[in-house]
Amino acid sequence: MINNKNFQLRKILTNKNETSFLMEAHNGISAKIVEDVGFQAIWASGFAISSSLALRDCNENSWTQTLDILEYMADAVNIPILLDGDTGYGNFNNFRRLIYKLEQRGISGVCIEDKVFPKLNSFVEQKDRLAQVEEFCGKIKAGKDVQKDKNFTIVARVESLVSGLPIEEALMRSEAYFKAGADAILIHSKKETGDEILEFVKKCPVDIPLIIVPTKYYKTPTSLFKKAQIAAIIWANQSFRAAYASMKKTLQEIFHTESLQNTEPHITSMSEIFNILHYDELKVAEEKYLPKIIKES
């Protein structure tokens, strides 16, 4: 039997003829909003999930705590979820165990980066150690061997450019990860333009779908990445940052005015939340399942 979400994600991440977009979510309700707005898939961002727990993006939350959040997200939506799985939370064996649990919980794919556990967010000005190529290839192979559904997707994320290494290192690693069985490569960059990404695309020695995260080089037009046949673009943290900005502004206003008058017209109504969470279904279910005598008491 085909797992439809897994199939969808694989298609989204590997079709070079159509650039797809994944939006970040970090909990059940943000996942629901991502789906509601129309995105086809979710990026379960390590940065956003840890930040929403008021923890740093350096594996301060355990992977099983992340798994619990993912379960709420997967329950809330019908679109597939790609987990930002950091380094796979350890060696090949930790990664195998992660995949076993992700498949159980309805997650459709995982992206692992070629760094050493515990990792640190790529945009922090402090260099992380890169994993050895052979070790990372073994991790990819172990993941592909253990996945039960053939459409579960494993993305290998190349951190060479972020680490300031020459493009040749990124190209060499991409080829190795392709040969190890990765379904796609996420090539990461922290430059302010997409030039090095576009150069990488031109020089990439293997025919593998490419995924990018233009957080820093957002001024480069998306049309250029489409033209370069980037398979998928990840908007990696905008849900979380938008929520943070809006929450802070609203709370400051209420604090300073000691009133809700200015903010109430601008924030989400309770009824919108009731709607998106289908409170009306509860009434219908009560009619069906709850004896009259309990309803009326």
Site residues for ligand SPV per CB under 6 A: 45-47, 57, 84, 121-123, 213, 215, 236-237
Strands (E) located in the chain: 20-25, 41-44, 81-84, 109-113, 153-158, 184-187, 210-212, 232-235
3-state helix, strand, coil in the chain (%, to 5): 50, 15, 40
Is residue 159 a contact point for Mg ion (CB under 5 A)? no
Cα–Cα distance list, 157 to 105, 140, 162 (Å) = 23, 11, 11
Residue 237's binding partner among ligand SPV, Mg ion, none (Cβ under 5 to 8 angstroms by kind) is: ligand SPV
Q: State the Cα–Cα distance between residues 244 and 258, nearest whole angstrom.
A: 21
Nearest to 136 by CA among 112, 118, 120: 112
Tokens 């080829």 belong to: 175
Is residue 84 a contact point for Mg ion (CB under 5 A)? yes
Tokens of 177: 């990860």
57 noted as active-site residue: yes
Sites for Mg ion among residues 33-52 (CB under 5 A) = 46
Q: Of 76 and 213, which has the nearer Cβ to ligand SPV?
A: 213
Residue 215's binding partner among Mg ion, ligand SPV, none (Cβ under 5 to 8 angstroms by kind) is: ligand SPV
Catalytic residue among 36, 57, 68, 86: 57
Q: Of 46 and 80, which has the nearer Cβ to Mg ion?
A: 46
With CB under 5 A, what is the number of residues at the site for Mg ion? Answer: 2
Residue 40's binding partner among ligand SPV, Mg ion, none (Cβ under 5 to 8 angstroms by kind) is: none
Catalytic residues: 57
Residues binding Mg ion (CB under 5 A)? 46, 84
